[in-house]
């Protein structure tokens, strides 16, 4: 009996020891997550989100000009696809508030793929410069190539859409899409110009409001580790800007040149000076001040070594 009890005690001790060892291993496994001592969840806290913003902005300097250009081209064309689809629904009589719910699909694809838009760079890259992760010259370089890529991607889709709807100019568009695009493009150029500086300032402010939401749609996905989480937090701010009709420079690089292809009485001056100049300034101010600088000021913490 004594021997049995002793043997049982040894077995129990061994089991307890194994459990303790397993417990240590489980604790170590839990500590291997994003936050020491916390379980890994589909959520990233704001300080780490800001750190990701800085790292993402800084990473752009390591890309070649060709890589930045193609990433921007991909982003611009996807945005043109999404805009065209939302406009097609609106042209068929779908209420604009409902048709606008289609547009964020393009942004979701952009975020999941990790391709780029110049408007997102307005929030991320200056933050990297502020924290001395890249130089001002490098900022100008990446801005130029991603802007050129977005413009090229938009124009390529413009031409392909015109070709598909008109059979390469052999017939008129019968879908109603071109008429809707012309209407919107006119309101984004000639309408502003009627009011002079007041119109230009309105375009600038609408550009600020737009890229405030757009850049939130860029950085909020950093707070989630799942695709569905990234999709949801992309959808909300992107729908808010598009549903309100604010001004996005890359979206306009699709809308206005396409309207010109379909015969809208809009000149290159109307496009570049009447729209792109004030909207670009507004997009930069909104993205940098309201997202990059604001979130950086509120949540940046120096990483521990």
Cα 166 from Cα 262, distance rounded (Å) = 9
Where in the chain are the domains? 1-41, 46-299
Spatial contact of 249 and 283, defined as CB atoms under 8 Å apart: yes
Cα 144 from Cα 104, distance rounded (Å) = 25
Cα 101 from Cα 111, distance rounded (Å) = 17
Least confidently predicted of 37-46, 186-195, 238-247, 283-292: 37-46
Spatial contact of 179 and 91, defined as CB atoms under 8 Å apart: yes
pLDDT over threshold 70, residue 11: no
Averaged pLDDT for residues 154-162: 98
CATH no. for 46-299: 1.20.1080.10
pLDDT score, position 259 = 98
Cα 278 from Cα 82, distance rounded (Å) = 23
Burial 111-130 (b: 16+ CB within 10 A, else e): beeebbbbbbbbbbbbbbbb
> Structure tokens of 207?
């550009």
Residue 7: pLDDT band (50, 70, 90) is: very low
Averaged pLDDT for residues 162-188: 96
Residue 19: pLDDT band (50, 70, 90) is: very low
Averaged pLDDT for residues 251-279: 98
Burial 155-192 (b: 16+ CB within 10 A, else e): bebbeebbeebbeeeeeebeeebbebbbebbbebbbeb
Least confidently predicted of 22-36, 42-56, 158-172: 22-36
291 Cβ contact list (under 8 Å, min separation 6)? 123, 211, 212, 215, 216, 218, 219
Handedness of CA 32, 35, 37, 39 (dihedral sign): negative
Residue 285: how many CB atoms within 10 A of its CB? 17
Residues constituting the chain: 305
pLDDT over threshold 70, residue 203: yes
Q: Per-residue pLDDT tens for 32-83?
A: 444 455 555 678 899 999 999 999 999 999 999 999 999 999 999 999 999 9
pLDDT score, position 96 = 87
Distances (CA, A) of 236 to 56, 100, 160: 22, 11, 30
Averaged pLDDT for residues 240-260: 97
Cα 63 from Cα 44, distance rounded (Å) = 26
pLDDT score, position 41 = 67
- Work out the mean pLDDT of the chain and round it to a whole number: 89
């Amino acid at each position: 009996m004594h021997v049995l009890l002793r043997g049982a005690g040894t077995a129990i001790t061994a089991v307890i020891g194994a459990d303790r060892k397993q417990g240590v291993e489980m604790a170590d496994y839990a500590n291997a997550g994003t936050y020491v001592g916390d379980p890994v969840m589909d959520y990233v806290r704001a300080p780490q989100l800001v750190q990701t913003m800085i790292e993402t902005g800084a990473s752009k300097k390591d890309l070649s000009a060709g890589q930045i250009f193609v990433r921007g081209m991909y982003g611009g064309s996807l945005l043109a696809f999404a805009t065209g689809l939302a406009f097609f629904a609106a042209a068929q009589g779908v209420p604009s508030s409902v048709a606008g719910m289609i547009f964020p699909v393009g942004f979701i694809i952009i975020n999941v793929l990790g391709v780029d838009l110049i408007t997102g760079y307005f929030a991320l890259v200056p933050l990297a410069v502020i924290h001395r992760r890249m130089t001002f010259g490098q900022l100008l370089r990446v801005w130029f190539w991603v802007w050129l890529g977005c413009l090229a991607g938009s124009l390529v889709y413009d031409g392909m859409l015109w070709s598909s709807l008109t059979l390469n100019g052999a017939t008129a568009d019968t879908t109603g899409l071109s008429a809707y695009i012309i209407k919107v493009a006119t309101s984004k150029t000639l309408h502003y110009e009627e009011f002079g500086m007041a119109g230009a300032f309105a375009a600038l402010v609408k550009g600020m409001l737009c890229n405030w939401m757009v850049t939130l749609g860029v950085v909020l996905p950093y707070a989630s580790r799942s695709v569905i989480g990234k999709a949801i937090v992309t959808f909300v701010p992107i729908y808010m800007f598009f549903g309100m009709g604010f001004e996005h420079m890359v979206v306009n690089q699709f809308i206005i040149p396409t309207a010109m292809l379909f015969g809208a009485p809009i000149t290159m001056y109307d496009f570049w000076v009447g729209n792109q100049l004030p909207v670009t300034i507004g997009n930069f101010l909104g993205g940098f001040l309201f997202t990059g600088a604001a979130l950086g000021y509120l949540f940046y913490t120096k990483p521990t070594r």
